[in-house]
Amino acid sequence: MGRPIGQGAAAVAALYFINGAVTASVGPRLPEISDNIGVGLAALGLALTGQVIGLIGMMPVSVKLIHRFGARAVGGMAAVLYSAAIAMVGLAPSAAVLFAVLVVVGVANAPLDVAMATLGKGVEEARGRKTLSLFEAAFVAGLVSGSAVGAVAAGRFGVDVHLAAVAAVCVLAAVMAMSFLPAAEREDGSSTGMFRVLRDRPLVRGLALIALAGLWCEAVGLDWAALFSTEALGASPMQQGIPGLWFVASIGVALLVGGLLADRFGAVPVVRCGGALIAVGMAIVGFAPSITWASVGFGLTGLGLANIHPLALSAAGSGPSKGAAFAAVNAISYLGLVGEKPGIGLLAGATSLRIALATTVVVGVFIALSARLVADRPQKDPG
């Protein structure tokens, strides 16, 4: 890896943490953002697709950047750019401008996603045991921090001031981490592109659908938990972030033990049980009469979904051309999020947010039935 494994792993974990902190900063402020730009749930959901569109569009380019400059350089610079870009969200005066800003945010986020997964898989292979779940735990620690800061800032500071402060702190942290990142080893077939991997590896396509389902559930919690608290339960500004905090905290707890469970019992049982927990948790959310019950439902959902994405990525990266495989899985999974954000928003506008979120029960059942795809197996390089 070019550097001591422990030191390099800590730096990679820092990238995951920064990514999570920046990503979670917007969610708790969505009620205020919605009021500031004067739009309802449906229009807000459409505006939120901007980040996903930017992510997907930049994925193939991210693979090329990593092939040319290396995951270490791309990951460090992307963390700086992503952190800086989030400050623009608080300045958007309309839904159209918010959409455009989020496209830029997504473009900055894509290379970071691919680079940190590539670096993390390298650490996992060097250690000989599953550690992507632990790196995802660092991501969730960032989510918890970002959500907590956002919940505290709500009602006290404007969105623009809050997100500018987040950007400044995370840019500084990214700069500090850059020099300690490990240098990923050059892999055979590293010039293989994302689209060729998708074409020639059916298993990667299947794993991408598993990852899509997991990220769908994650996005539901991050994007809509605060709005659910206010719209369906009449929560005050001080209460609106509580279910979301339970959601991300439960993800973090599950990730701390997910790798150990997968090493001992296998990835398939972990994902199968996760899908069942998602279905139960979101059913509870659908009928929740109070903030307490909503927190229980979102908490169970977080426990279930936590290890789905990292275990799908780990299985996809078990062969060569890891960067292309990671980009392929992430691109497909993010493509699904283009439908999740406006889909939930439009369904909520036509019925209610309670009914819209309850549809995620079906996603949990799908994950449980498809869990066999995450079993580790060697994959041939299409190149």
In a domain, 381, yes or no: no
Residue 195 confidence (pLDDT)? 79
In a domain, 145, yes or no: yes
For residues 79 and 139, the model is more confident at 79
For residues 165 and 313, the model is more confident at 165
Q: Mean pLDDT, to the nearest integer, of 232-258?
A: 83
- Can you tell me which residue has the tokens 């390298």? 122
pLDDT bucket at 320, cuts 50 / 70 / 90: low
Query: Is residue 4 pLDDT above 80, yes or no?
Result: no
For residues 131 and 191, the model is more confident at 131
Q: How far apart are CA 56 and CA 337, in angstroms?
A: 10
Residue 55 confidence (pLDDT)? 87
Query: Is residue 51 pLDDT above 80, yes or no?
Result: yes
Stretch (H or E) spanning 276 = helix 267-287
In a domain, 380, yes or no: no
Q: Mean pLDDT, to the nearest integer, of 295-301?
A: 95
In a domain, 105, yes or no: yes
| Structure-block tokens of residue 43 | 């229009």
For residues 71 and 4, the model is more confident at 71
In a domain, 88, yes or no: yes
Query: Mean pLDDT lowest for which of 118-127, 206-215, 247-256, 285-294?
Result: 118-127
| Structure-block tokens of residue 4 | 């001591």
In a domain, 328, yes or no: yes
Residue 67 confidence (pLDDT)? 83
Provide the 3-class DSSP secondary structure of residue 312.
Answer: helix
Q: How far apart are CA 122 and CA 191, in angstroms?
A: 17
Query: Is residue 205 pLDDT above 90, yes or no?
Result: no
Q: Mean pLDDT, to the nearest integer, of 228-239?
A: 79
Residue 184 confidence (pLDDT)? 62
pLDDT bucket at 48, cuts 50 / 70 / 90: confident
Q: Are 59 and 330 in contact (CB under 8 A)?
A: yes
Q: Mean pLDDT, to the nearest integer, of 134-152?
A: 86
Q: How far apart are CA 166 and CA 143, in angstroms?
A: 12
Residue 3 confidence (pLDDT)? 54
Query: Mean pLDDT lowest for which of 219-223, 270-274, 276-280?
Result: 219-223
In a domain, 379, yes or no: no
pLDDT bucket at 377, cuts 50 / 70 / 90: low
Please state the separation of Cα 57 from the chain's center in Å: 17
CATH number, domain with residue 308: 1.20.1250.20
In a domain, 326, yes or no: yes
pTM given for the model: 0.77
Residue 189 confidence (pLDDT)? 46
Q: How far apart are CA 61 and CA 55, in angstroms?
A: 10
Count of structural domains, the chain: 1
- Can you tell me which residue has the tokens 């938990």? 225
Query: Mean pLDDT lowest for which of 25-34, 168-177, 313-322?
Result: 313-322
The boundaries of the domain holding residue 269 are: 5-178+191-374
Tell me what the pLDDT averaged over the chain comes to.
Answer: 86
Residue 188 confidence (pLDDT)? 46
